[in-house]
Amino acid sequence: MSKKNLIVVGNGMVGHHFLEQFVESEAAAAFNVVVFGEEPLLAYDRVHLSEYFTGSTHADLAMGTAQWYADKNIDLHLDEQVSEIDRDNQQVITPKGSYPYDELVLATGSFPFVPPIEGNNGPDCLVYRTLDDLDQIRASAEGGKVGVVVGGGLLGLEAANALKSLGLEAHVVEFAPRLMPVQLDADGGGLLRRKIEELGVQVHTEKATTAIVEGDECRLRMNFSDDTHLETDLIVFSAGIRPQDALARSSGLDIGERGGIVINNQCTTSDPHIHAIGECALWDGRIFGLVAPGYTMARTLSGALNGDSEAAFTGADMSTKLKLLGVDVGSIGDAHGQTPGARNIQFNDGANGVYRRMVISEDGKKLLGAILVGDNGPYDTLLQYALNGIELPANPEALILPESEGGAPALGPDALPDTASICSCHNVTKGDICGVIDAGCCDLGSVKGETKASTGCGGCAALLKNVVDCELEKRGVEVSKDICEHFPYSRQELFHLVKVNGIRTFHQLIHDHGKGHGCDICKPAVGSILATVWNEHILATDHVALQDTNDTFMANMQKNGTYSIVPRVPGGEITPDKLIVLGEVAKEYDLYTKITGGQRIDLFGATLSQLPEIWEKLIAAGFETGHAYGKSLRTVKSCVGSTWCRYGVQDSVGMAILLEDRYKGLRSPHKLKMAVSGCTRECAEAQSKDIGVIATDKGWNLYVCGNGGMRPRHADLFATDLSDEELIRAIDRVLMFYVRTADRLQRTSVWLENLEGGLDYLKKVVLEDNLGIGEELDAHMQTVIDTYQCEWKTAVEDPEKRKRFREFVNDERKDPVQQWTQERGQRRPVIETA
């Protein structure tokens, strides 16, 4: 029997997801699959469209590759628009020919709604949907200064971010009284507005545009109904979407009153051989403008075409969690409290920019919806309560209060029902995870491999790990704390073995206490322990092979195999002469130059063989290595302090230099950052550092275990009004205790949170010496300080160590894969996408 034909019209995210599902199903063998895409490019990720302006290419955003389509025998027609469906003869017609179908899938998506405003069709009036649109926005932004987005919804704010990243002064014009009117209430919308305005995007609400005319200062002028106006060089319309149903309409399929191809629960239209999925489809009178429901339709349809009688689309959860211009926004279920009898609980912390609202049922037992602005921390827990109908605790307000005010910890994985969705990208429930664990998976990696959970957007990674750990523990599987397969010990235990047994090499340690030859997990960890305990040069023969490449070559490897160089600039203080040297070196070697967040200068693009030459010059000018490559002290940031500042009460720069010179070279489980502020205004941002020092009129306040970056943590106040000597002794002991007891790659913030007894215990150890190890910690720190050497100085002076810095030991040629281009007056690598 010859194969039947399945045609898919539309090659967007949902169309692609359908193909992924269908070609792996049993029914695929019976069909030739043909796909038509209107755009010349393969399906790409529209959710992350704005990344196109920050360096991503189509290849980065693409959902699949041409090779994948070829491998799956899918006949792909890009840049070929279907003009007509001939339902009587079951064929589709394009400008290039006609193609017969047995089953037809419409995944034509949507198009942006452009409000009918006079003058809306000029060359600088654009929309935000495709990569082609983005190219046009980019072209229009050239030579412009101001950009306006019409529409303050989710996509509009994304578009505003894109305009901002193009260097334009960005405005958002919204018809409703607040931003994101669908997802947020007045208080939440107000806070979001404040935060976005702080980021430099100007927001205009309750503005109806009446006409777009030629501008005086800019290219265009928008006139509003309240007789105000706004000048701009370009306008991006993002005022909602409309289903792309033109093809279905002209073929006589049932269409909703306000557009959308009517489908039933199996995603089939009024013609039994034509189906529709995604944003073009109208189910139960609703259009679903998010990607997840579209994916659900795709899976449903694939199931239905395989004869699965239970496959049905029954609506979708429209909860959303996202970061808009860096601001967390979350909206769950009935966010506006429209359910009869619904009650509200609100938490509004204006000072810290956090707003949370819960909508609960009349009897107070179920969570119906929620709004979060400023911090999505409770989102996962709240979503689980809402989706699974879990009964709320007696004091539900605890779910949205900060922990310090009696807030509840996150919902434990044990409380989730088996139907709870853990990974929505791959539709994996807690029950699925329990199933594969019962079938023999006994670690996180194999659960991920078996279920695909957390391999989509990755947003559920933490939740998945908690569920897996909890389920394994329930089954009596001990969750191993061993560092790797070579040592049955944690980092802390290895530290004690090294120290107590006087072990000085990796070889001796693995011979006495481990097995095998080691790996990239245990070797650097042991290298770091040996460096902390004995402080020998990291390129000493016994240690060289233990180090990550950054430590081995004492520079930071970048994506093309070249390195960046960060000399130490203690406290951020640098003389003009030294600055000139950095400039001269950068110029000579054509190094891309950038100021770091830690008040230093980073020089990018040095090849392996250039490193020692460059360092010879830097050392001759008085520079030392900055350890930017090491798990060690990076910088001590400082404000200018009492020397210059009229508010400063202590010499913060002097203290920062003292601390940086004292702790430079200390090897630790992870990098360490410090800062010193000269007064309570805290310009050095010390409370986001591992060690933060803030001047008072009586001395120094010490803060510990803060963190910026991926997982910010406010540092804890550890001691107040310390003298210089007291401050240094306290820091010595906190650091040494951390270095001895932390896990591999554990920052001080996580270390403190996991330290039994917490901050109070740490205070007792350091300030009251209740373990009686204070003097030992002091002495150990003194040894580290006394044995400090600039690793680069030692390396450039030793011909044997310099031998390592050759690209090819038998050939002087340059690395042929390193290709360069110019951008904004500097050299950068050409990025090739594989």
Partner 1 sequence: MSNKTQWQSVCSVDDLIAESGIAVWTADGPVAIFYLPNRIPCLFAIGHTDPFSGSNVLARGITGDLKGQPVVASPLYKQHFNLETGVCLEDDAVQVPTYPVLLDGNNVVLEVPVKSQVKEIA
Residue ranges that bind partner 1, judged by CB under 8 A: 485-486, 516-520, 522-524, 541, 544-550, 552-553, 557, 559-561, 803-804, 806-811, 813, 815-818, 832, 834
- In whole angstroms, the minimum distance from the beta carbon of 804 to partner 1 comes to 7
Compute the distance between CA of residue 156 and CA of residue 236 in angstroms, rounded to an integer.
Answer: 8
Compute the distance between CA of residue 143 and CA of residue 33 in angstroms, rounded to an integer.
Answer: 46
CA angle 78, 80, 86 (to 5 degrees): 130
**Cα 161 to Cα 12, 317, 325, 326, 344, distances in angstroms:** 23, 26, 6, 9, 32
Pick between residue 39 and residue 485 the one whose CB is nearest to partner 1. Answer: 485
Strands (DSSP E) along 443-597, which ranges?
Answer: 556-557, 563-565, 592-595
Query: What are the strands of the beta sheet with 220-224, ordered from one edge?
Result: 209-214, 220-224, 229-232
- In whole angstroms, the minimum distance from the beta carbon of 277 to partner 1 comes to 30
Pick between residue 210 and residue 794 the one whose CB is nearest to partner 1. Answer: 794
- In whole angstroms, the minimum distance from the beta carbon of 459 to partner 1 comes to 21
683 assigned to a ligand binding site: yes
- In whole angstroms, the minimum distance from the beta carbon of 480 to partner 1 comes to 15
Compute the distance between CA of residue 171 and CA of residue 186 in angstroms, rounded to an integer.
Answer: 20
- In whole angstroms, the minimum distance from the beta carbon of 260 to partner 1 comes to 42
- In whole angstroms, the minimum distance from the beta carbon of 497 to partner 1 comes to 19
Query: Tokens 């149903």 label which residue?
Result: 245
DSSP class of residue 351 equals: T
Pick between residue 547 and residue 635 the one whose CB is nearest to partner 1. Answer: 547
- Residue 463, classed as helix, strand or coil, is helix
Compute the distance between CA of residue 37 and CA of residue 102 in angstroms, rounded to an integer.
Answer: 19
SS3 per residue for 262-294: EECCCCECCCCCEEECHHHEEECCECCCCHHHH
CA Rg value for the chain: 31
Pick between residue 476 and residue 799 the one whose CB is nearest to partner 1. Answer: 799
Q: How many C-beta neighbours within 10 Å does residue 501 have?
A: 12
Choose among 618, 658, 656: nearest CA to 790.
618
Pick between residue 195 and residue 543 the one whose CB is nearest to partner 1. Answer: 543
Pick between residue 543 and residue 662 the one whose CB is nearest to partner 1. Answer: 543
* Secondary structure (DSSP) of 467-500: HHHHHHHHTT------SBTTBSS-HHHHHHHHHH
Contact 108, 244 (CB under 8 A): yes
- In whole angstroms, the minimum distance from the beta carbon of 801 to partner 1 comes to 11
Compute the distance between CA of residue 700 and CA of residue 677 in angstroms, rounded to an integer.
Answer: 9
Pick between residue 144 and residue 605 the one whose CB is nearest to partner 1. Answer: 605
CA-based torsion, 778, 780, 783, 788: positive or negative: negative
Strands 672-677 and 169-173, how do they pair? unpaired
- In whole angstroms, the minimum distance from the beta carbon of 425 to partner 1 comes to 20
Decide: residue 445, CB within 10 A, 0-12 exposed, 13-18 middle, 19+ buried: exposed
Contact 21, 298 (CB under 8 A): yes
- In whole angstroms, the minimum distance from the beta carbon of 520 to partner 1 comes to 4
Pick between residue 349 and residue 548 the one whose CB is nearest to partner 1. Answer: 548
- In whole angstroms, the minimum distance from the beta carbon of 830 to partner 1 comes to 11
Pick between residue 249 and residue 803 the one whose CB is nearest to partner 1. Answer: 803
Helices (H) and strands (E) in the chain, counts: 25, 38
Pick between residue 541 and residue 770 the one whose CB is nearest to partner 1. Answer: 541
639 assigned to a ligand binding site: yes
What interhelical angle do 506-513 and 491-501 show, nearest 10?
110
Known binding-site positions for siroheme: 683
Known binding-site positions for [4Fe-4S] cluster: 639, 645, 679, 683
